[in-house]
Amino acid sequence: MPGKFGTPTDPDYALRLAEFEARIARGEKIEPGDWMPEEYRRQLVRMISQHAHSEVVGMLPEGAWITRAPSLKRKMILIAKVQDEAGHGQYLYHAAETLGISREEMLEALLSGRAKYSSIFNYPTLTWADIGTIGWLVDGAAIKNQTMLAQCSYGPYSRAMVRICAEETFHHKQGKEMVIAYAKGTPKQRQMAQDAINRWWWPALMMLGPHDADSPNSEVLIRWGVKTKSNDTVRQEFINEHAPEILATGLSLPDPELHQDPQGNWRHGPINWEEFWSVVGGNGPMNKERLEARRRAHTEGAWVREALEAYAAKKSPIPMAV
Ligand SMILES: [Fe+2]
Ligand SMILES: [Fe+2]
């Protein structure tokens, strides 16, 4: 649909932009095919594709533990969770495709290392307690962000988020249940849960993004209703819910400066942003392994894509020449 992505050099840009912003202010959703600024499209493609990549790469640290789950129940839960994440990737790639980018372009960006995905998935899962901790903290942080994005002004992204959040809630609950069980378990289980919380707490705070003052895209994203809350606001909501719940289990948090202020907000000590940017820049503990695993899966899955194409061609309504 040519012309639907406006740029400031278009003669009617100011008028169209005013109409677009008025629609957002009225709470209307922007749908594929509607006029939108090219910058809105670009920001959404960046965010949705990064989000899709995060769902798919996020399957790796947990998938590695499916064969080592300690019981059938835990194994079934983990298999269901990892499958859900694949589904989330699917919804999100579809949502991004409505903005005129192809699946192949997005995958090429991921596999070539150009695209980003959530920094958190570049940390290793060292023990079984990491699986519960990821559910509680990582899915917990994701829900805070995704509940906000379910209000997003772009229809397909917002609707994908509503479905995804319903499943994330299950991921969060199963993780919380597991960590609470180990916190009440044997000294060894308790120590394992504490070690996992110690390692995942700071990366979970970091995954909600840089402080507002260092988040260059935030202003335009908030103005156009893509984000409705800033990174620091979402992080505060996450800490306010999770810090007291974790402390209530008798486990501790690895932040000596953590305290509740008179307004009831839990305040954290300084975040190591150097570590965050190093991981985002490709130098986290598992960046290379994660990308290699994705590339290998893509190559080994080539036959599936070929088979699907052959099947689609066979079912094509176009009559074959005889
Ligand atoms: Fe997910
Ligand atoms: Fe999840």
Q: Provide the greatest CA pair distance for the chain.
A: 81
Expressed in angstroms and rounded, the spacing between residue 86 Cα and the centre of ligand 2 is 10
Expressed in angstroms and rounded, the spacing between residue 13 Cα and the centre of ligand 2 is 40
The answer to whether position 257 is within a domain reads yes
The HSE-up count of residue 46 (CA atoms within 13 Å, CB side) is 10
The answer to whether position 66 is within a domain reads yes
Expressed in angstroms and rounded, the spacing between residue 155 Cα and the centre of ligand 1 is 19
Average pLDDT over residues 14-22: 95
Residue range of the domain that includes 233 = 5-276
pLDDT for 3 equals: 47
- Please give the DSSP secondary-structure letter assigned to residue 122: G
Expressed in angstroms and rounded, the spacing between residue 201 Cα and the centre of ligand 1 is 19
The answer to whether position 310 is within a domain reads no
Expressed in angstroms and rounded, the spacing between residue 164 Cα and the centre of ligand 2 is 8
The answer to whether position 286 is within a domain reads no
Dihedral of the alpha carbons of 283, 287, 288, 290, in degrees to the nearest 10: 180
Q: Quick: pLDDT tens for 173-197.
A: 999 999 999 999 999 999 999 999 9
Average pLDDT over residues 296-317: 92
Report how many domains make up the chain.
1
Q: What is the DSSP string of 232-250?
A: HHHHHHHHHHHHHHHHHTT
CB 172 within 8 A of CB 140: yes
pLDDT for 316 equals: 75
Expressed in angstroms and rounded, the spacing between residue 102 Cα and the centre of ligand 2 is 24
Q: What is the DSSP string of 126-176?
A: -STHHHHHIIIIIHHHHHHHHHHHTT-SBHHHHHHHHHHHHHHHHHHHHHH
Expressed in angstroms and rounded, the spacing between residue 55 Cα and the centre of ligand 1 is 5
The answer to whether position 318 is within a domain reads no
The pTM (predicted TM-score) of the whole model is: 0.92
Q: Quick: pLDDT tens for 21-61.
A: 999 999 999 999 999 999 999 999 999 999 999 999 999 99
Residue 149's alpha-carbon distances to 123, 258, 288, in angstroms, are 25, 28, 29
The answer to whether position 237 is within a domain reads yes
Q: What are 121's two structure tokens?
A: 């998935």
pLDDT for 315 equals: 84
Name, in order, each residue with C-beta under 8 angstroms of 67's C-beta and a sequence gap of 6 or more: none
Q: What is the mean pLDDT of the chain?
A: 94
The CATH number for 114's domain is: 1.20.1260.10
Expressed in angstroms and rounded, the spacing between residue 235 Cα and the centre of ligand 1 is 18
Expressed in angstroms and rounded, the spacing between residue 295 Cα and the centre of ligand 1 is 20
Expressed in angstroms and rounded, the spacing between residue 139 Cα and the centre of ligand 2 is 5
Cβ-based neighbour number of residue 320 at 10 Å: 7
Expressed in angstroms and rounded, the spacing between residue 165 Cα and the centre of ligand 1 is 8
CA gap 145, 129 in Å, rounded: 24
pLDDT for 2 equals: 38
Q: Quick: pLDDT tens for 225-279.
A: 999 999 999 999 999 999 999 999 999 999 999 999 999 999 999 999 999 999 9
The answer to whether position 189 is within a domain reads yes
Ligand sitting nearest the alpha carbon of 86: 1
